[in-house]
Each structure stands twice: as structure tokens, then as C-alpha cells.
Amino acid sequence: MNQKASIRWAAMLPEWIETFALGLWGALFLYYWRNGRLGLLIHPNYFALTITAGFVLLIIAFFSLIKIARQKGSREAHQTLLPPGLMSIVLLAAAVVGLVVTPRPFASQTAIQRGLQDANIVTRVRPQAFRVGQAPETKTLIDWIRTLDVYPEPDAYTGQPVSTDGFVVYTDNLPDNYFTLTRFVITCCAADVYPVGLPVKLTQSRKSVPSDRWFTVKGKMITETLNGKRQVVIQANAMVPIPEPNKPYAY
């Protein structure tokens, strides 16, 4: 390759990198969609927009490749605040990491960091999703939270049967024979997920129940006073281990 051609290709390198970055991001969106992992990153309401963006990015990258391949002669370097191609390299590297590293649902540490121990966490689940007349034993954890948000009097639920799923979180504000059965709720994307949960009372130390493991908890509702507050607690009669759901977040 002569010197003139080398200079031309060097000048075009940022455009090549930018094009591959766009294409790889489009492929990343579609990859997560096809593998059922998009729900770990974004609310289903935005799936169509994300999938469309993936196809659009691939189309843009395709036509950009054609344009670059047809270019002749030397190119002037773009004037930017950063060195040419640096931002594209960052985007390209991020997309490669996204394809290689499988996203994982948030766990107990994130739940505690995002305020699971706050009593006010219940009020963040929108009550308009409340379903009237639902049998107690068919309610999900989110259904229970929404029910309590509408009518928080704990004695109203005493004795009602419970069979609900979630993962185990140890919170410092509960005694040793309690843990918090937890789910994350996503409103837009993974950046805004927040935890909701209900305390579960055991007949033994919670150390017998591994943190972050998913269980179906079966039992009944009781009223307890924890940290000076009367509240609903699940009295566990059975703990059934279950696999982590394909869709671990609630919406």
C-alpha cells in the first residue's frame, strides 16, 4: 500500500470504527431481544422502540459501510474535542462487553442500597394495578404490596393463606428469624428499578435460608410489631426452592 493510500485509510479509520460501533449496538439490542434478556434492562412498554432502534442502527451501519467503501481520495480529519475515533472506540468496546457479558438481575445488596428497609417503599407501587376480589393464595408478592398500599390495616389480612415467590434478603432491621421476601419493580429501565418486599417469619434462624435464593413461600398472614410498627408478616409453613424466573422483575 503506497503512502497516499495509507494516509487515506488512516483518515477514514474513525468512520470505520463509528460504523462498526453503530452496527454492533444494533446487533446488541436484537441479541438481548432474541435471547429473552431485554426485560432485564428495560420495561416491556419500550421493547418495540428498542427493537426498532436495533434494526435502524443496523440499516444505518450498512449504508455507512457502502458510503465509506465508495469514498476516494484523502479525507480531512474531523475536528472534535476528543481524539478522532475515541468516542466510537468507547461505544464499540461497550457493545462488545454487552455481547460477551450476560446481564444479571439485581440481588440483595442492590435491594438494601435502594432502600428496602424503608417502610415507605410500599407506596412506590402504583395502586391502579390493584385487582379487587383476588383470592389471597393466588396473589403474587407485587399483588400483596399493592393490596396493602390501598388498605394498609394489617389485621384485615390476619389468617389469610399465602403462596408467593421472591428472593431472600437479610435486612439489619429484622430479627434473626426474619428475612424479607423481595422482588424488583422496573418502571422504565434497569437504572430505576426499586425493591419491594414483605417480612417472612421463620421457626428457626434465617441462616438456614440462603440469601439471594428464590423461593415459593407458603403460609399465612399474621400481624407483628417490628421496629415499633404494626405490620403484615408472612408466617412461613413451607419454603420451596425455585429457579430464578426468566422474568425476575415486576412491571
Confidence of residue 152 (pLDDT cuts 50, 70, 90): confident
* Average confidence score pLDDT of the chain: 78
Rounded CA separation 242/238 (Å): 13
201: domain CATH number is: 2.40.50.140
* Integer CA distances (angstroms), 93 to 17, 19, 24, 61, 99, in order: 10, 13, 10, 16, 10
What is the tens place of the pLDDT at every residue in 20-42?
888 888 888 888 888 887 888 88
Residues 74 and 118 occupy one common structural domain: no
Residues 79 and 151 occupy one common structural domain: no
pLDDT confidence of residue 92: 66
Bridge partners (DSSP) of residue 184 are 195, 249
Range of the domain at 18: 3-100
Residues 81 and 28 occupy one common structural domain: yes
pLDDT greater at residue 39 or residue 165: 165
* Integer CA distances (angstroms), 138 to 18, 156, 182, 185, in order: 51, 17, 17, 19
For the entire predicted model, the pTM comes to: 0.70
Q: Are 233 and 198 in contact (CB under 8 A)?
A: yes
Rounded CA separation 122/149 (Å): 6
Rounded CA separation 103/99 (Å): 9
Q: Which of 100, 120, 145 is the last residue of a domain?
A: 100
Give 45-62 as a 3 state SS string: HHHHHHHHHHHHHHHHHH
pLDDT confidence of residue 79: 45
Could you give the maximum distance between any two Cα atoms of the chain, in Å?
A: 85
Closest CA to 165 of 244, 246, 109, 104: 244
Number of domains in the chain: 2
Closest CA to 103 of 14, 55, 41: 41
Confidence of residue 102 (pLDDT cuts 50, 70, 90): low
Rounded CA separation 171/199 (Å): 9
**At residue 1, does pLDDT exceed 80?**
no
Residues 93 and 116 occupy one common structural domain: no
pLDDT confidence of residue 27: 87
3-21: string of b/e by CB count within 10 Å (b at 16+)? eeeeebeebbebbebbbbb
Residues 138 and 217 occupy one common structural domain: yes
Q: Are 244 and 216 in contact (CB under 8 A)?
A: no
Q: Which of 74, 100, 126 is the last residue of a domain?
A: 100
**At residue 54, does pLDDT exceed 90?**
no
pLDDT greater at residue 117 or residue 146: 146
| Mean pLDDT within 7-18 | 65
The three three-digit cell numbers of residue 169, written as one number: 434478603
**At residue 127, does pLDDT exceed 50?**
no
Chain position carrying cell 408472612: 234
pLDDT confidence of residue 34: 87
